[in-house]
Amino acid sequence: MATAPARSRNWPLRKVWLLAALVAAPVQAQELADAIRLGDERGVAASLAQANRPLAYGETPLMLAVSHQDRGAVRALIRAGVQVNAVDQDGVGALWLACEMGDAGMIGALLDAGADPRRARSDGATPLHLCARFAPASVVERMAHGEVDLRDARGQTPLMWAASSGRAEAVSALLRAGASARAVSQGGFTPLLFAVKSGDVAAVSALLAAGADATARGPENTSAAQLAAYQGRWDVLRLLIERGGVDLNERDREGWQLLHRAAAGGDVGLVRLLIVRGAAVEGLSGPSRITWVTEANFGVAPPPVPPKVPLLMAAEAGQAEAMKALIAAGAKADFVAQDGENLLIAAARSRTLTALEVALAALPKPELVDAKGNSALHVLAGSRPAADLAAMFMAMARAGARPDLANVRGATPAKIAAGAQTEVRNAFFAAFPQAQAGQASPAT
């Protein structure tokens, strides 16, 4: 899916480098570095003769002052005529660091002193890229005079950096400056796809208003709506659906339709919106197009997943309200997947009481089994401890579930529970006390 733009250097790691730089610096530069580190403005002023002498790794006193967010030292160094565009061995200079810190005053001081916002470091990122992601929109607006569609090593523009972080004001500032809303990175992502992945509705809206192509596809033919659903960005998905032009029944790379995603995610309002707009309540999921690691490395594909309806996926995820909405819209409670999974088994797998209660109300047949002869009670008996588990056993007991029903291997729920973890075992036999003595005599 969408890959976020490269982040600037990790600040804690930079602090380690700076300490190493202090150790390795010449004596005079060390005095200046110590003054900066201690916030000693008089000491800084007294040592300004060494202002342009690099420390270890090519760091300069100005970079050190910016890293420590010492405005006084920065001002003193600038007044002394320090080289504001000097860079370290990685091509990083003071302005990059200031943009990463996001201090508008410090960035402004460097820009006033002639720092170049369009000079690229080793990975192609410019200060404008970093400020688009970290700095106030007012700073971005000031820096956005001239060329704004600068590309880093991955073909990503400052607008993409801003969009990936959901920084709507910075997005708007760059768009006003002429940034292309339709640019495409080397990875095949547009600013809109980055904004969708961030989940920021305002950023998505700004890009759409500026002419971003809502039909543009990312890798694996992923649409903006599919990406929003895949990332669980429900508000963004709602915006895209209400805007129109979305294929509601198209399957994504995992074979899911939008209604499957919304149902499993539990956004009831979105489930209802999709149904009203024409999503298929009984739509089936399809095969996955993903190459899994076992398949890529060992040639062993994962077991195939049988097609499922949104109701089954809502039940598996324990989304009781979404289940109710789907049933009210006509979803069939008696759907059975190719492997025999039914609504009760799906709800049991969620280990969520409310989902099981909805399933039992819609399909009061606890004796139903899958292709291996397992009932919902088998599934619960073999599950891990969960907050709702004891109440779920009680609900199954009230519904008439059989603790002595054998699966194709002859195992009953009682037998499975007897070998389960203590918490599961105790909860099971509290609900089915009569099964404790007779667990060795399975019924068929």
Give the least confident one: 67-71, 157-161, 418-422, 426-430: 67-71
Query: How much is the pLDDT for 72?
Result: 87
5 Cβ neighbours under 8 A, 6+ residues apart: 125, 129, 133, 152, 154, 156, 160, 161, 164, 194
| Mean pLDDT over the full length of the chain | 90
Domain covering 1-116 in this structure, CATH number: 1.25.40.20
Residue 56 and residue 60: Cα distance in Å, rounded?
Answer: 9
Residue 223 banded pLDDT, cuts 50, 70, 90:
very high
Residue 434 and residue 432: Cα distance in Å, rounded?
Answer: 5
Residue 440 banded pLDDT, cuts 50, 70, 90:
very low
Query: How much is the pLDDT for 411?
Result: 98
User: If we measure between CA atoms, which residue out of 126, 146, 69, 149 comes closest to residue 101?
Assistant: 69
Q: Calculate mean pLDDT across residues 194-216.
A: 98
Cα dihedral: 224, 227, 229, 230 (round 10): 170
Query: How much is the pLDDT for 12?
Result: 46
Give the least confident one: 61-65, 340-344, 411-415: 61-65
Query: How much is the pLDDT for 50?
Result: 60
* Residue recorded with tokens 């909405």: 325
User: If we measure between CA atoms, which residue out of 165, 232, 152 comes closest to residue 194?
Assistant: 165
User: If we measure between CA atoms, which residue out of 290, 311, 362, 373 comes closest to residue 339?
Assistant: 373
Its pTM stands at 0.84
- Among 1.20.1260.10, 3.40.47.10, 1.25.40.20, 2.40.180.10, name the CATH number for the domain at 323-435: 1.25.40.20
Give the least confident one: 10-14, 352-356, 435-439: 10-14
Asked if 164 and 193 touch (Cβ cutoff 8 Å), the reply is no
Phi, psi of 119 (to 5 degrees): -80, 130
> Looking at the predicted structure, is the pLDDT value of residue 44 above 80?
no
**Measured CA angle at 326 (ends 321, 328), to 5 deg:** 95
Query: How much is the pLDDT for 26?
Result: 45
Residue 352 banded pLDDT, cuts 50, 70, 90:
very high
Query: How much is the pLDDT for 289?
Result: 86
Give me the helices (H) in 187-267, please.
Answer: 191-198, 201-209, 224-230, 234-243, 258-265
Neighbour count for residue 179 (Cβ, 10 Å): 26
> Looking at the predicted structure, is the pLDDT value of residue 201 above 50?
yes
> Looking at the predicted structure, is the pLDDT value of residue 435 above 60?
yes
HEC states along 277-292? HCCCCCCCCCCCCCCC
Residue 266 and residue 260: Cα distance in Å, rounded?
Answer: 10
Orientation angle between helical segments 127-134 and 168-176, nearest 10 degrees: 140
- 5-38 burial string, b = 16+ CB within 10 Å, else e? beebbeeeebeebbeebbeebeeebbbbbebbbe
Domain boundaries along the sequence of the chain: 1-116, 323-435
The residue among 311 and 46 whose pLDDT is bigger is 311
Query: How much is the pLDDT for 334?
Result: 98
Beta bridge partners of 443: 405
pLDDT in tens, 129-175: 999 999 999 999 999 999 999 999 999 999 999 999 999 999 999 99
pLDDT in tens, 288-334: 888 777 777 777 877 888 999 999 999 999 999 999 999 999 999 99
The residue among 42 and 368 whose pLDDT is bigger is 368
pLDDT in tens, 248-285: 999 999 999 999 999 999 999 999 999 999 999 999 99
Identical fold, 1-116 and 323-435 = yes
Rg of the Cα trace of the chain?
30
> Looking at the predicted structure, is the pLDDT value of residue 4 above 70?
no
